[in-house]
Structure 1
């Protein structure tokens, strides 16, 4: 039986997770994964034998913004290419064994540490390991299937995210600014009251409210960044072209 304190913490977490945006995102991801699985057997050659990589490609490309979907999808494919190339180099000199696995994973982690790789860094050692262990007997055919199915899944995920209610995170702008305005107004009123009191002033809340102002300022900045990112490559931003510049401009005034 869940105690009341734990239930009190659980319910807000559930409300935060089960939002309209999250449910729509989950539905889009599920539909894209199902579509990728349906298309996977239609891929040419040996790729049809590895359909499970297509939904995996969907998962790596589905992100809360269209721009992030494109970025992470392409970075993941770059990581696959690097990992596969490294695995090919290792398989030319040794069969899969403990030493070979250690080498490809270690080299993959090192290569993944190169700057500006982003999501690719996670896929370099993973792709190398899969090619070495699962595709050693037919490394060329397995690598072709792996990349093709993942690329198809990435394309499907991006297409669904771009075409079906592409996320445009503007609804948080006004509430974030309102919270910051209220906190700032209260701070100024308290400071004005403190100026008329004897020293040390009895009205000292203003001196300890820096944390609240920092939080509301951070909320505004986060909202601005999310709105700008969601508008990139988003077809809905063109349909809302009349409001979007005003929304972002109003938000930017509080982002300084």
Structure 2
């Protein structure tokens, strides 16, 4: 609960502090609520519709991630609701108004119709509309017409709110997610460095692994952002925003950060396995962990510099220079730690070797972005990497 509360707190701070995916999510949520209230005010308060719930319910569902999705979802939902309302009314007429009998006739058919792929995620609304009609007990032609009118009111309001009130244009979303990945990775590495210097335990290691796992939803959000970047420009009335947006970075950046997230996950998982009563790996010596904490801090600086590079408010040249210096500093410290690896003995050497191997691979992905991996003198252990004997004894996951 503490980890979850901390993550929620970070999200709230990001939403309040400035533009970004958290702010966009907050705006969309408020638009959903506003559309539902407006639909109820029109259908329930002004028109006094007999089942006004249909209007805000539809409006709430149609404030989607893009205007194009709202229009597409609106057409799908209206089609499904028409089918659900008509079929439920026929079922009620066939059984003479029996609620249970109408459900037995209507729901199996509508549940199957809802799986039709053309209806997408809106297919379930056929069954829920039938439940409204059947439980409300209104199935005359006039009353079915009211249901359709209420649905259309909600659809028009939901789509209009999404299209004309801060219409979602996801041109910056790719940059936002790519900035969030190095920013959160840097925070994780700094938190690890602080803990490794102290008497850390299994709960702290589990927290590190949890934070590494939280990078995966960001990667999924990045994939969605790329799709939304193209989709959000379709049928969007915000013509001026179309021309101002920068082109997103290439998709190779997504692959690169997927690899970095995987290495961080392996590192944190290895540390978890050295703690607790059921630990099956020997913990490295405190002296090694102290030095590895410094390496984690310097790797965090590389990630933080890359986050600055994706922040378009700073100069790209200065950010790239900071990233290059941070990467070279991290590589130099990695070399010195790898050279001292020969002092490690016993079962803990395998764990130390795995940490070094995974960190080296992570740095190899980070460093080429700023001019390539720095040249290093060849030592007796193959260029400053962890010895082959250590990695063979306990290969990385």
Tell me if TM exceeds 0.5. yes
- Greater relative contact order (CA < 8 Å, ≥ 6 in sequence): 1
Q: What per-residue deviation string (whole Å, max 9, x for no partner) do you get for residues 69-126 of structure 1?
A: 1111221111111112212332332132423312211111111122311133111112
Q: Match for residue 29 of structure 1? A: 32
Contact 1:131 1:142 in 2 (8 A): no
Q: Give the direction of change, closer, same or farther, for the CA distance of 1:87–1:49 in structure 2 (3 Å limit).
A: closer
| Residue 135 (structure 1) aligned with residue 142 (structure 2) | no
Q: Call closer, same or farther: CA 1:127–1:219 in 2, change over 3 Å.
A: closer
| Count of equivalent residues | 215
Q: In structure 1, list runs of 5 or more residues that go unmatched.
A: 1-5, 182-210
1:173–1:247: 8 Å Cα contact kept in structure 2? no
In 2, Cα distance between equivalents of 1:231 and 1:171: 12
Counterpart in 2 of 1:58?
59
Q: Is the 8 A contact 1:108 1:125 kept in 2?
A: yes
Corresponding residue number in structure 2 for 1:189? none
Is contact 2:39–2:56 with CA below 8 Å preserved after alignment?
A: yes
TM-score, normalisation: structure 2 = 0.48
Spell out the pairing of 1:65-214 with structure 2 (5 A cutoff).
65-95=66-96, 96-136=98-138, 138-176=139-177
Given that 1:29 and 1:157 are in contact with CA atoms closer than 8 Å, whether structure 2 keeps it comes out as yes
1:11 equivalent in structure 2: 6
The CA distance in 1 between the partners of 2:146 and 2:169, in whole Å, is 34
Structure 1 residues 178 and 16, CA, compared in 2 at 3 Å: closer, same or farther?
A: closer
How big is the alpha-carbon RMSD for the aligned residues of Structure 1 and Structure 2? 3.1
Deviations 1:15-74 (A, max 9, x none): 43653212222222222222222211444xxx7232222211211211121111111122
> Aligned pair 1:247/2:250, yes or no?
no
Shift of 1:253: 6.8
- The separation in 1 between residues aligned to 2:29 and 2:181, in whole angstroms, is 31
Does the aligned pair in 2 maintain the 1:166–1:234 contact within 8 Å?
A: yes
Moved over 4 A (4+): 175-181, 214-220, 252-256
Counterpart-to-counterpart distance in 1, 2:68 and 2:219: 25
SS in 2 for 1:242: helix
Alpha-carbon separation, structure 1, partners of 2:177 and 2:53: 42
Larger radius of gyration: 2
TM-score normalised to structure 1 length? 0.71
Give the distance between the partners of 1:175 and 1:159, measured in 2 at CA.
26
Residue 42 and residue 26 in structure 1: after superposition, are their counterparts in 2 closer, same or farther (change >3 A)?
same
Please tell me whether the aligned partners of residues 104 and 129 of structure 1 are also in contact (alpha carbons under 8 angstroms).
no
Inter-partner Cα distance in structure 2 for 1:60 and 1:144: 21
String of CA shifts for 1:208-230, please: whole Å, max 9, x gaps: xxx99x96976653331121122
Partners of 1:78 and 1:120 within 8 A in 2: no
Alignment partners' CA distance in 1, 2:119 and 2:2: 41
- Measure, in 2, the Cα distance between the counterparts of 1:235 and 1:254: 30
